[in-house]
Structure 1
Amino acid sequence: MKTAAEILAAFDNIRRAQNAGVYAPHKPLLILLALARVQRGEPRLVDFNDIEGPLKRLLVEFGRSGSANTRHLPFWHLRSDGQGAIWKLSGPRELLARPAATAPNLGELRLNHVRGGFPIAVDKALREQPGLLEAVAAQVMDAAFPETLHADIAAAVGLSLDRSTIIMAGERTAPAYVQSEHRHRDPGFRERVLRAYEYRCCVCGFDLRIGQVSAGLEAAHIQWHNVGGPDVEPNGLSLCSLHHKLFDLGAFTVEPSEFRVVFSQQAIGSQRGRDGELRHHGRPILPPQQRDMLPAPQYLGWNFKNVFKTPARRVGG
């Protein structure tokens, strides 16, 4: 059986476009779906026809606009990561013999009932080593998504994450478990961003304090930290927890000329929603203390391209 350290290292090294600053959630979401199946005791291999629908829904909700159109690619390409250490396919020999770069289309995967899943040794370890599955899931989510989305993604894939079990698994494998290349966060980022915006949400002005402690106020990365976004003020927004969540879901972004809040046409609410969150549409953010702390165009551009759910609502006339 593979050790926990070997398995964690394999999942830590999946090839992702994030290395180039591009948000590509396809492989992480497929892995999380497969982990949830293992956790529920379902068979090791799953027919593409059975996982296509759930993966499409996840990509619509948590991916870039249009991500769902390429939902078949991670099912095929994941098999080449780590020389087959993570994902195996079963199907017609002539189809599987294609070069890794020559992916079948949606119709071919459906018609040939290609099945995919973790290799036997990995599947066995995930089922039998306490806490390992949860540790892998936590590692994948930490590498691919901001923390604001973790609980929603886990619920959407049907994955139960017991943090106490994850800690136990980490203790068994630490300190030799994995030398991750993930970037460390700057602990001063939050304080600098909140101070820049005078400890208020730059969208709604929320500034409640309990004594000297700001309540429910967070420093949001415009370009996410896990995809190369730096811990600097021009890549940060001071947001209340609600607007941080909406921002990371792509419900709104900030346009780079007049720094106005722009909501997605996909953000739809009742009259209460229109009187509440959508009333901020078209309004400029509350600015930081200094002009050089304003959101930088390159980070806003990244957010619009990778996170914001297009199309945008019209601003003004």
Structure 2
Amino acid sequence: MIAVVDWVERVCRVRQWRQDGRRAPHKPLLLLYALGHFQREGDAPIRFRDAEEQLQLLLTEFGPPRRSTMAYPFFHLRTDGLWQVTGARIEPSAAALRDGDAAGRLASDLVRALRDDSTLVVRLARAILETNFESSLHPDICQVAGLRLDPAGEVAPLPVPMPARDPEFRERVLIAYEYRCAFCGFDGALGRSPVGLEAAHVRWWSEGGPDETANGLALCSLHHKLLDLGVLGIGADLTVAVSDRFVGRSRMARAIVHDLSGQAVLRPQRGHPPVRADHIAWHAREVFKGRTRPAA
């Protein structure tokens, strides 16, 4: 029997394909969807034609801004020993998977392990999320994948040590930006404690982004989330970029998102480095969605 620690290590090895800093989170997203399906339906097969729309939504929302399809991971994940497919042809196109009524399911030995340990689903999901995506996106990914991370009872810590984040990163970044959101200037506090302010990685920590001020921005909670989703970005001229795909019809949406387009990003105080150009370029290529909306 494969131990829990080995299963966690195996899913962590299903890392995204990478070349020159480009990310392709297809396999991790498929695994998260399959784990959510197991929570709801057990070992029932996942027909590609039934799951395609939701899988594509996962890739569109949380993958890079490039056209792609979930047909490739649906076919190729089997090579990682975690997945099996029936009805698939040699050519893993979406049309071929539909025509062959292809269906996938988690590998039988993994299914047995999931049935023997009711906490394993959550442990595996947490490992996949932590090694592939920014933490601000985890709840949204789980919602689209149909995955619950709040099972009854306590969930033991992950048996595999995960790379440690620098606990001082947040404080260094907030100090550099004098406890203000670099996009909107929000500087709320409760007593002496900042409220609603976070330290955001421009190049994701899960993608090799360092815990350094030159890769960080102090942002309010909303603008941090929008940065990680690709609604907001940073231009090469250090102005705020707003995606033309973002739709906000209310006066408030225009005020807190649309009107940021073209506004200067707050610079850190003297003695602290601004965000490095290569991290800005990575975010523009791998996260930011669509084109930059013209300044108001």
Q: CA contact under 8 A between 2:15 and 2:132: conserved in structure 1?
A: no
2:85 aligned with 1:89, yes or no?
yes
Q: Distance in 2 between matches of 1:220 and 1:284?
A: 17
Q: CA contact under 8 A between 1:19 and 1:228: conserved in structure 2?
A: no
- Scaled by the length of structure 2, the TM-score of the pair is 0.93
Q: Distance in 2 between matches of 1:47 and 1:167?
A: 31
Q: Which residue of 2 aligns with 1:289?
A: 269
Tell me: CA distance 1:226–1:20, structure 2 relative to 1, closer, same or farther (3 Å): farther
1:116 offset after TM fit, Å? 1.2
Identity of aligned residues (%): 38
Q: CA contact under 8 A between 1:19 and 1:227: conserved in structure 2?
A: no
Secondary structure of 1:167's partner? coil
Q: Which residue of 1 aligns with 2:286?
A: 306
2:182 aligned with 1:202, yes or no?
yes
Opposite residue 301 of structure 1, the aligned amino acid is A
Q: CA contact under 8 A between 1:134 and 1:165: conserved in structure 2?
A: no
Tell me: CA distance 1:115–1:88, structure 2 relative to 1, closer, same or farther (3 Å): same
Q: Which residue of 1 aligns with 2:40?
A: 40
Q: Which residue of 2 aligns with 1:149?
A: 137
Secondary structure of 1:70's partner? coil
Q: Which residue of 1 aligns with 2:225?
A: 245
Q: Distance in 1 between matches of 2:203 and 2:132?
A: 13
Q: CA contact under 8 A between 1:254 and 1:300: conserved in structure 2?
A: yes
1:22 offset after TM fit, Å? 2.7
Instruction: Provide, for residues 69-104 of structure 1, a one-character-per-residue CA deviation record: whole Å limited to 9, x for no partner.
Output: 2221111221112xx2x1111226xx3xx5xxxx52
Opposite residue 87 of structure 1, the aligned amino acid is W
Q: Which has a greater percent of helix?
A: 1
Opposite residue 22 of structure 1, the aligned amino acid is R
Opposite residue 71 of structure 2, the aligned amino acid is H
1:230 aligns with one of 210, 220, 223: 210
What root-mean-square deviation, in Å, do the aligned CA atoms of Structure 1 and Structure 2 show? 2.0
Instruction: Provide, for residues 146-171 of structure 1, a one-character-per-residue CA deviation record: whole Å limited to 9, x for no partner.
Output: 11011111111111112774633x3x
Q: Which residue of 1 aligns with 2:54?
A: 54
Q: CA contact under 8 A between 1:65 and 1:308: conserved in structure 2?
A: yes
Alignment of 1:96-175 (within 5 A): 98=90, 103-162=91-150, 165=153, 167-168=155-156, 170=157
Q: CA contact under 8 A between 2:183 and 2:265: conserved in structure 1?
A: yes
Opposite residue 310 of structure 1, the aligned amino acid is G
Q: CA contact under 8 A between 1:47 and 1:113: conserved in structure 2?
A: yes
Q: CA contact under 8 A between 2:176 and 2:272: conserved in structure 1?
A: no
Q: Which runs of 5+ in 1 are unaligned?
A: none
Q: Which runs of 5+ in 2 are unaligned?
A: none
- Scaled by the length of structure 1, the TM-score of the pair is 0.87
